[in-house]
Amino acid sequence: MTIIASLLRGAELPDSPTARLDIELLLAAALGKSRSYLHTWPERIVTSEAAATFSDYLGRRRAGEPVAYILGQQGFWKLDLEVAPHTLIPRPETELLVETALELLPVDTAQVLDLGTGTGAIALALASERPYWQVTAVDRIEEAVALAERNRQRLHLDNARVLASHWFDALQGERYQLIISNPPYIADADPHLAAGDVRFEPASALVAGKDGLDDLRLIIAQAPQHLTPGGWLLLEHGFDQAFAVRELLAKHDFEQIESRDDLSGHERISLGRLSC
């Protein structure tokens, strides 16, 4: 007979920096319960089926697979999102994009575009906070488009739409008050690509050429054709890319250019307003 407390005591994830949290999330999922249940009812008996599922989850996590992929879900902003290995796992630092976007535009109507939406995290967070905005989310990966659409439907966000498009390719003639993106921005030879959870994430959502700026260059160059006069472009980038991104924004007629720090003190996002 196995109880919750003994499984918690016996579980180990020596290579995970968040081992205790990972273990609790995996056990709670195996039981179909919340994390608080584990501590409220530590003497509850665990079925052999649930124990086997937990053991399988632990084995996958020890092999480096991210918890989000094991469980098929990840929290972002105030939303619970379905995730899958063909999309980037939404990260807390990306919530800075959402916070900033909500500051930039009024609460009434606006047309907003999220480029490279992946799970739909950014677009759906904005749509959930601003019911009068019309938010378009695009991605070039077919599976990501389907996943983001499932998240949209499950969250009943009728003011958002999900389209297949490689950046702006399917958006000819459309203009927006805000374009927002967390594009690939890692250099193709970056050693971090072979370490940690990133090993399991799709390279197409991470890598952008020799210096990591290829997609940022393209977005900044083409965005003026899709922004209304005075519209904003808001971008996430690498911790050491802010200066280069600000220079690119200035080169393409953006004003009021600035970068903002994430919770770790790194310049994580940059933004600019198209000249009127």
Is the pLDDT at 129 greater than 70, yes or no?
Answer: yes
The verdict on 47 and 150 lying in the same domain is no
Per the domain annotation, does 126 fall within a domain?
yes
**β-bridge pairing 160-164 and 176-181:** unpaired
- Domain edge (last residue) among 63, 95, 110: 63
Per the domain annotation, does 11 fall within a domain?
yes
Average model confidence (pLDDT) for the chain?
A: 91
Sign of CA dihedral 41, 47, 50, 52: positive
The mean pLDDT of 22-43, rounded to a whole number, is: 92
Is residue 191 very low, low, confident or very high in pLDDT (cuts 50, 70, 90)? low
The verdict on 82 and 50 lying in the same domain is no
CATH number of the domain encompassing residue 146: 3.40.50.150
**Percent of the chain beyond pLDDT 90?**
73
Instruction: Domain of residue 45: give its range.
Output: 2-63
Is the pLDDT at 194 greater than 80, yes or no?
Answer: no
pLDDT on residue 271 = 98
Per the domain annotation, does 7 fall within a domain?
yes
DSSP string, 89-134: PP-GGGHHHHHHHHHHS-SS-EEEEEES-TTTHHHHHHHHH-TTEE
CB 97 within 8 A of CB 269: yes
pLDDT on residue 210 = 77
Q: Would you call 163 exposed, middle or buried from its count of C-beta atoms within 10 A (0-12, 13-18, 19+)? A: middle
Per the domain annotation, does 70 fall within a domain?
no
pTM here is 0.91
Sign of CA dihedral 147, 148, 149, 155: positive
Query: Tokens at residue 97, please?
Result: 């994009």
pLDDT on residue 2 = 87
19-23, 123-127, 200-204, 207-211: which has the highest mean pLDDT? 123-127
Is residue 264 very low, low, confident or very high in pLDDT (cuts 50, 70, 90)? confident
pLDDT on residue 199 = 66
Within 10 angstroms of residue 85's Cβ, the number of other Cβ atoms is: 14
Is residue 10 very low, low, confident or very high in pLDDT (cuts 50, 70, 90)? confident
Is the pLDDT at 105 greater than 80, yes or no?
Answer: yes
Q: What is the pLDDT of residues 222-257, one digit of tens each?
A: 999 999 999 999 999 999 999 999 999 999 999 999
The verdict on 98 and 27 lying in the same domain is no
Q: Which of 183, 188, 185 is nearest to 244 (CA)?
A: 185
Is the pLDDT at 39 greater than 60, yes or no?
Answer: yes
CB 150 within 8 A of CB 84: no
Q: Give dist(CA 51, CA 178) in Å, integer.
A: 48
The verdict on 236 and 110 lying in the same domain is yes
Domain count, the chain: 2
The verdict on 35 and 142 lying in the same domain is no
Query: Tokens at residue 16, please?
Result: 């995970």
